[in-house]
Amino acid sequence: METPEGKFVGVPEGKPVIVPADMPHKLTITGTEKRRSLALVLHDSAQPWAIRTHDHGWAPKGLCKAS
C-alpha cells in the first residue's frame, strides 16, 4: 500500500495495514502465489466511498512495484 507517507507492506501473521480516513492510497498486489485476503473499508456513509487520488493532488511514486 502506498500513501503520501510512504510504503506499507502487509504480511501473513503480521500487523494489518491501516490507512486513516481521507488518506489517498494505492494498493498493489505483488508476487505470483495464490492469495487469500480481506480488505475492509470503513467510511462515513455521507461521503463517497472512493475518491480519485488526483483529486487530492497526490500521485503514487511507484514505491510498490508489481513483480
Q: Tell me, what's the pLDDT at 6? A: 92
**What pLDDT, in 10s, does the model give residues 28-42?**
887 788 877 777 878
As a whole number of angstroms, the distance between CA 55 and CA 33 comes to 34
Evaluate if residue 57 carries a pLDDT over 70. Answer: yes
Query: If you average pLDDT over residues 5-31, what whole number do you get?
Result: 85
Evaluate if residue 67 carries a pLDDT over 70. Answer: no
